[in-house]
Amino acid sequence: MSSSHPPIDPAQATDPIRATDNCRYCLMCRHVCPVGEVTKLESLSPHGWALTIASQRRGLIEWNTDSVGALYHCADCGLCRANCVTDQPLPNAIVAARNQVVESGLAPRPLYTLADALAHWGNPYAEQMPVQPTGAGEVALFVGDEAMYRWPAALEAATRLLEIIGIKPVLVGRGRNNGYLASSLGFAAVAHDLIAATIAEVAAVGARRLLVLAPADLYAFGDLAGERLQLKLPEGVVLEAVTDVLDNALQAGQLALRHAEQLAAWAYVDPTHSARIGRSGDAPRRLGAALGGEPLELFWRRERAHPSGATALRFSLPHMAYLLAQARLQDAQRQGAQIVVTEAPGDLAILSEVAPRLGMRVQGLYELLASQLV
Amino acid sequence: MYGSTFGHQMVQSELEEIVGANYVRADEVSRLVYSTDWSWMPQMWLDRGQPTPQPDFIVHPGSAEEIAEILRIANKYHIPVVPWGGGSGTQGGAAPVYGGIIVDTKRLNRILNIDEKSLTVTAQAGVIGTQLEWALNERGLTLPHYPASANCATVGGYLAPRGTGTISTKYGKAEDMVLSMQVVLPNGEIVRTPVVPQHAAGPDWFRLFLGAEGTFGIITEATLQVDYMPESRLLRAVLFSSLTDALEAGRLMMTRRLQPFVIRLYDPASTASVVHEILGYDFEGAYMVIGFDGDPDIAALQEQKAMEICVGLGARDLGRERGEKWWAHRYDFYYPPQTLKLPWMYGTTETVTTYDKIEALYWAQKRAIEETYRAQKIRYIGHFSHWFHWGAMLYSRFIIEQPPADAQEALALHNRVWNTAMTAVIDNGGMINEHHGIGLKLARFMRRQYGESWPFLLRIKETLDPNGIMNPGKTGF
C-alpha cells in the first residue's frame, strides 16, 4: 500500500530543530499566533520562524542581528502546537535554535546578563537568594519569583483560601523562577538548574502534591521540564493548579463566597500558557461566577487564549510584551468589560502596568475570592 | 533609478511616508520568508539551498487609500507589486518572481459589519478566514466557505483566485458568496462594485476582479453572504467498486437537486493511500462521503434519497460513523507530516468540466501522467470534491517520491509533468483550474486555454494596468 506522505525523518526524534522542516511551509497555525496577530508579519509567525531556522541550516541565511532578532520575537506561548493536529513541537525547535544562538554568543547581550542573574539569584527581579522551605508536609505550594516580587497579594490570598479548605502547604521555590524564562531565552543549563532545585525542594519536604498558582508553573514543571530538560517531579508527586483545588472545594460546598457587587462588567483572562497545557479554564470561571454574574468572554479565550505578555518577551522585547498585554485588554474592552480578572501573578503584573492607559482595572482572582469569603 | 541603491532608498522613504516606517520591511528574514508562498516550486528551491527571487520591500498598508498611494509610486517607478493575503496559494500566485513590493493586506483586518437581517458580513480583505468564522459563529452564523487554508487565507485571498471550500457543492464557491467589493485599481483609483450582484444595471464588471489574482487591482473589502449555522449535519460513507457508478451517483444527486453540502469521492488510488493513512480504513474501491445539512427532517429525507441512488448503483453503505470521522478529520490531510511535503515532488493538477466529459478526462489525465513518467515511478491520485448541476471538479495529484536532487532538474521535470497534465485537460474539454487559481504555475497555459479570446483578455489587462506592475508573470499576464 502506498503512503500519502513522506516518511518522518528519524533524526527529528533526537534533534528538535528538525521539526522546522515540517513547519516551515505549513500555515495551519497562522491564525492563532499572538505575535503574528499583533505584527501581521509572516516572518514573525510560526512558519516564518520555522523557515528562518530551516534556512539557516541550509546556509541561506546566517544568524545575525536581524535574524536573531526575528528568532527572539516568538513568545514561546505554545499556541501553535496547541492548535496543531499533528502536535508539531515547534516551540521546542525555536528554543533549541535559541540554545545554539546563545552558545555561539550571538544572542542579544542583555540576555546573558539576565541569565547570570537567574543563575545566581534564581530570579531577575531582586538580588536575593530563594528562601529555603521550612518544615515538611504532604502538600507543597510553588511560589516562584513573580508571586514573591511582582504580585505578592496572589500568594497571600491563595494561601488563605487554601487554609480555609484545610490545606496548609509548605512553600517551595520562594523567589525562584520556574525555569521557563531561562529555557525560553535559550539558556538551557540555567533552566535545568532552576527546575532541578525546585524538584529537590519538593523531594526534601516530602510532598506528594505540588500546587501551583498559574498555568505557567504547570507548564514549567510538566511539559517543559520533561521535553526540553529531561527532568521530572519526584515519583508519585501530583502537580495541581490551586484554581482546580479551590473549584473542587467550591463544588463540594467547602468554600462559601459572597457576591462581589463591584464586579460589574468583568472579563476573565486565561493566563499565559493556558492553551498549551490544554486547560479548559472552567475552574477559574466557576470560581469567578460564584462571586456573582458570568464573566464576559474574550475573543481570544480558552483553547485559543493568547498570552498577556507574561513571557520571556518581557525581557527580550518588552515593547512586544506590552503590545500583547494591550491586545488582551482591548479584547476585553471590545466585549464591554471594564475589569479583567485572572489568577497568574505574572499576567496580573504586566496587565496592571498597561491597564491604566486604557482606563481599565485589573483584579487578582485569588484576592477577589479571599475578599469575599463568608 | 529603482534598481540602484540610491533609488532603492528613495523608494523605501516614499513608502515609509505613506504607511510609516514600522510598516515597511526590507530586512533579510522578511525578504526570505515572503519569497515563497505555498507552492512547490519556490519551496523546493529553498529546500535545496537555492535562493529564490525576493521582494525588495514588504509593505503593510492600513487602508485602501494607502494602497492607492503605494500603487501610484509603483507606477511612477515601474515597480512590480504583488498582493499578499495569507500566502497559502499553491500556484505561486504570491511569489515575487520579479522582486518589487509585496503588499501584505493583513493590517486590513477589521470586520466592518455583520448584518443579521440580510445575512451578510462586510470585512476588510486581510481578515483571516478562521478568525472571521469565529466571529460569525458567536452570532450563530457561518460563512459557508470552508477551504483547508482557512487558518491562513484571507478574505481577499478567498476571492482573488476564485477559491472553493469543502461545502461548495451546496453553498457555492467563494465568488458565489460575494455581493460587492472595494478594489484599488492599478492606477490608484478606488472603486466600489454595485451593492448587490444580481441586477440588470449594466454588465457584471465586478467579476473581473474574481480570478484576476491581483493582476487587475487589489481587493480591499468585501461584503459576503453568510448563513445560519446548520441545525444538523448528516454525514455518511459509501463504497463503490466502480468509479463510473460512483460518478453517476454524484451526478444524479446533483441533477435531482438533493443539495448535498458535500460529495467527496476518492478514486481507488486515493482510497488505498490517503483514506487509509488518515482515517485508517482499508477499502478497495472508491470511497465516497456524502453530507446533508440544515433542517434535520429535510436533511434526513435528502440523505434517504441519496442513499437510494447510491445503493441502486451498487454502493455499500459504510454507515454514518465513517462519514463523520472523515468530516472530523477532513483538514488533517493538510498538516505535516500527513500532507504531501518535501523532499517529494507533487502537484495538484485539478480541473473541472461537465458530466459528459469528467470521467474521460480523469482517465486521460491519469493515463498520460502514469505512462509518460513511468520511469520516475510517478503516482496519480484524485478525488472529486466540488460538484455542480452540470459537472464536477477533479482534484488530481501527481507524486514522485524520488525526484532529482538538483533543483533545476527537479523544476524542469515538475514543469514537464504539468505540461502533460494540462495538455490532457485541455484536449479533453476541461478547464486548467477550478479553484487553486493560475498563479505562476499555470500562467503559460492561459493562451492555450482561451485561444482566440486571449487577446481580448490581454487588452483588458493593458487598459487597467498599462505599466504591467500588478503581479507580473501571473495568470498569463
- ipTM score of complex: 0.96
CB neighbour list of residue A137: distance below 8 Å, 6 or more residues apart = A168, A169, A170, A205, A206, A207
| A357: enclosing H helix or E strand | none
Domain final residue pick, A67, A88, A107? A107
| Burial grade of B57 (CB within 10 A; 0-12, 13-18, 19 or more) | buried
Beta bridge partners of B111: B123
Domain final residue pick, A230, A248, A266? A248
Closest-CA residue of A relative to B345 is: A6
Give the pLDDT mean for B105-109: 98
Which of A12, A28, A64 has the most B C-beta neighbours within 10 Å, making it the best mutation to test the interface with B?
A: A28
Give the pLDDT mean for B169-173: 98
Question: Residue A14, CB half-sphere, CA atoms under 13 Å: how many?
Answer: 2
CB neighbour list of residue B407: distance below 8 Å, 6 or more residues apart = B44, B45, B48, B50
Cα dihedral value B89, B92, B93, B99, nearest 10: 130
Binned at pLDDT 50, 70 and 90, residue B278 comes out as: confident
Q: How far is CA B443 from the centre of its chain?
A: 15
pLDDT tens-digit profile of B343-397? Answer: 999 999 999 999 999 999 999 999 999 999 999 999 999 999 999 999 999 999 9
What is the predicted pLDDT for the residue at A145? Answer: 98
Select from A22, A28, A48 the Cβ nearest to the Cβ of B151: A28
Euclidean distance between CA atoms B210 and B197, whole angstroms: 13
- Chain A neighbors of B340, CB-CB under 8 A: 4-5
Q: Are residues A170 and A240 in the same domain?
A: yes
Q: Is residue A92 part of a domain?
A: yes
- Chain A neighbors of B274, CB-CB under 8 A: 4
Shortest Cα distance, chain A CAs vs residue B144, angstroms: 18
- What grid cell was written down for B203? 454588465
DSSP for B14-34, written as a single string: HHHHHH-GGGEE--HHHHHHT
DSSP state of A146: I
- What grid cell was written down for B67? 494602497
Euclidean distance between CA atoms A83 and B180, whole angstroms: 33
Q: Is residue A271 part of a domain?
A: yes
| CATH code for the part of the protein at B345-441 | 3.30.300.330
Select from B128, B273, B336 the Cβ nearest to the Cβ of A2: B273
Answer whether residue B63 shows pLDDT above 90. yes
- What grid cell was written down for A369? 475570592
Give the pLDDT mean for B266-289: 95
Closest-CA residue of B relative to A81 is: B335
Euclidean distance between CA atoms B209 and A225, whole angstroms: 52
| Burial grade of B111 (CB within 10 A; 0-12, 13-18, 19 or more) | middle
Q: Is residue A285 part of a domain?
A: yes
Q: Is residue A31 part of a domain?
A: yes
- Chain A neighbors of B33, CB-CB under 8 A: 42-43, 47-48, 51-52
Interaxial angle between packed helices B40-47 and B407-427, expressed in degrees from 0 to 180 and rounded to the nearest 10: 170
Asked if A272 and A215 touch (Cβ cutoff 8 Å), the reply is yes
Answer whether residue B171 shows pLDDT above 60. yes
Binned at pLDDT 50, 70 and 90, residue B1 comes out as: low
Q: Of A225, A221, A223, which is closest to residue A213 (Cα–Cα)?
A: A221
Asked if A272 and A307 touch (Cβ cutoff 8 Å), the reply is yes
Answer whether residue B237 shows pLDDT above 60. yes
Binned at pLDDT 50, 70 and 90, residue B333 comes out as: confident
Shortest Cα distance, chain B CAs vs residue A118, angstroms: 30
pLDDT tens-digit profile of A70-89? Answer: 999 999 999 999 999 999 99
Closest-CA residue of A relative to B26 is: A66
- Chain A neighbors of B331, CB-CB under 8 A: 28, 85
Fold of B232-334: Alpha-Beta Plaits (3.30.70)
Amino acid at A288: G
What angle (nearest 5°) sits at the alpha carbon of residue B256, between those of residues B253 and B262?
30
CB neighbour list of residue A27: distance below 8 Å, 6 or more residues apart = A47, B38, B86, B87, B88, B149, B151, B152
The CATH number for A42's domain is 1.10.1060
- Total residues belonging to chain B: 477
Q: What is the CA radius of gyration of chain A?
A: 20
Counting the structural domains of chain A, the total is 3
Q: Are strands A209-212 and A139-144 parallel, antiparallel or unpaired?
A: parallel
Select from A28, A40, A70 the Cβ nearest to the Cβ of B60: A40
Q: Of A227, A235, A176, A184, which is closest to residue A210 (Cα–Cα)?
A: A235
Shortest Cα distance, chain B CAs vs residue A344, angstroms: 26
Cβ contact B338–A64 (<8 Å): no
Q: Are strands B391-400 and B379-387 parallel, antiparallel or unpaired?
A: antiparallel
Euclidean distance between CA atoms A29 and A306, whole angstroms: 13
The CATH number for A155's domain is 3.40.50
Q: Are strands B351-354 and B286-294 parallel, antiparallel or unpaired?
A: unpaired
What is the predicted pLDDT for the residue at A1? Answer: 46
CA distances for A43 relative to A97, A127, B58, B124, angstroms:
16, 37, 10, 22
Q: Is residue A124 part of a domain?
A: no
Shortest Cα distance, chain B CAs vs residue A31, angstroms: 5
**Which residue do the cell numbers 531556522 mark?**
A53
Euclidean distance between CA atoms A78 and A274, whole angstroms: 9
Query: B387-391: long-range contacts at Cβ-Cβ below 8 A with a sequence spacing of 24 or more?
Result: B387/B169, B387/B250, B387/B253, B387/B254, B387/B260, B387/B263, B388/B169, B388/B254, B388/B352, B389/B254, B389/B255, B389/B257, B390/B354, B390/B355, B391/B352, B391/B353, B391/B354, B391/B355, B391/B357, B391/B358
Q: Is residue A112 part of a domain?
A: no
Work out the number of other CB atoms within 10 angstroms of the CB of residue B27.
15
Low-confidence ranges of chain A (pLDDT < 70): 1-13, 262
Work out the number of other CB atoms within 10 angstroms of the CB of residue B321.
11
Q: Are residues A234 and A305 in the same domain?
A: no
Domain final residue pick, A216, A248, A280? A248
- Chain A neighbors of B129, CB-CB under 8 A: 31
- Architecture of B5-106 per CATH? 2-Layer Sandwich (3.30)
DSSP state of A18: G
Mean pLDDT for all residues in chain B? 97
What is the predicted pLDDT for the residue at B197? Answer: 93
Which of A4, A9, A18 has the most B C-beta neighbours within 10 Å, making it the best mutation to test the interface with B?
A: A4
Q: Is residue A172 part of a domain?
A: yes
Q: Of B290, B266, B264, which is closest to residue B276 (Cα–Cα)?
A: B266
Closest-CA residue of A relative to B330 is: A85
Cβ contact A31–B273 (<8 Å): no
Q: Are residues A178 and A239 in the same domain?
A: yes
Beta bridge partners of A267: A296, A340
| Helix, strand or coil, per DSSP, at residue A367 | helix
- What grid cell was written down for B125? 480583505
Q: Of B30, B11, B290, B440, which is closest to residue A73 (Cα–Cα)?
A: B30
Euclidean distance between CA atoms B97 and B385, whole angstroms: 31
What is the predicted pLDDT for the residue at B4? Answer: 85
| In chain B, domain spans | 5-106, 108-228, 232-334, 345-441
Closest-CA residue of B relative to A70 is: B29
DSSP state of B89: -
pLDDT tens-digit profile of B69-103? Answer: 999 999 999 999 999 999 999 999 999 999 999 99
Shortest Cα distance, chain A CAs vs residue B92, angstroms: 13
Which B-chain residues 313-372 have CB contacts (< 8 A) with chain A? 331-344
State percent of chain B over pLDDT 90. Answer: 96
Cβ contact A6–B343 (<8 Å): yes
B295 interfacial to chain A (CB closer than 8 Å): no
DSSP state of B196: -
Supply the pTM of this predicted model: 0.96
B63 interfacial to chain A (CB closer than 8 Å): no
| Helix, strand or coil, per DSSP, at residue A182 | helix
**Which residue do the cell numbers 480541473 mark?**
B351
Name the residue range of residue A90's domain.
10-107
Q: What is the CA radius of gyration of chain B?
A: 23
DSSP state of B53: P
**Which residue do the cell numbers 460513507 mark?**
B237
Euclidean distance between CA atoms B202 and B32, whole angstroms: 45
Q: Is residue A128 part of a domain?
A: no
| CATH code for the part of the protein at B108-228 | 3.30.465.10
